[in-house]
Amino acid sequence: MKKFLIGFGGLLILLGAGGIINHVSMAFKAVEEEREMYGGSVQFMLLQLIGSLGPYLTCLVGGGIIIALAAFIIEYQKRSELTSELIRTLSTQRLAPIEETRTTNKELQPQAKEQKDETEEYELYPQQESREERLYWNG
């Protein structure tokens, strides 16, 4: 797809450039002949013929846009590949510490149960001991 877009864009640019060159050379020949026959200003005659350059300029601009689009697609694909590689690398790096912490958590669980048994009593905060004491925010 990308090769097709680049080829088609290049073809449009070549057709546009060739068309402009051909049109300008034909316009100079036509102006020379008309000037010999009728006389008049060469600049005015060329100004009248410049209006018909539209299709060639459209081919040039369209080809440039298509090639830019193909280049964007290529860079976006490279970026996607790098991002997926980064995600794979980070996921493998994060899995290793998680497995290590699981083993240490299994070792610490019996110790945590013993500590819960010792501190079953409920301790009041100092604010709860005296109900009349009020807290205000000094904001």
Distances (CA, A) of 82 to 47, 72, 96, 118, 124: 52, 15, 22, 53, 55
Find the mean pLDDT for residues 7-28. 92
Task: Give the start-to-end residue ranges of the domains of the chain.
Answer: 2-93
Let me know if 132 is exposed, middle or buried by CB neighbors in 10 A (0-12, 13-18, 19+).
Answer: exposed
Q: Which residues contact 30 (CB under 8 A, 6 or more apart)?
A: 45, 49
pLDDT at 130: 55
* Unique residue bearing structure tokens 């057709």: 15
Q: Which residues contact 56 (CB under 8 A, 6 or more apart)?
A: 15, 16, 17, 19, 20, 23
Of the two residues 92 and 135, the one the predictor is more confident about is 92
Query: What is the percent of the chain where pLDDT is above 70?
Result: 68
For residues 83 and 3, what is the distance between their CA atoms, to the nearest angstrom?
23
Alpha helices in 1-139 (DSSP H): 2-38, 42-50, 54-118, 126-129
Question: Count of CB atoms within 10 A of residue 16's CB?
Answer: 21
pTM greater than 0.75 (yes/no): no
User: Does position 135 have pLDDT exceeding 60, yes or no?
Assistant: yes
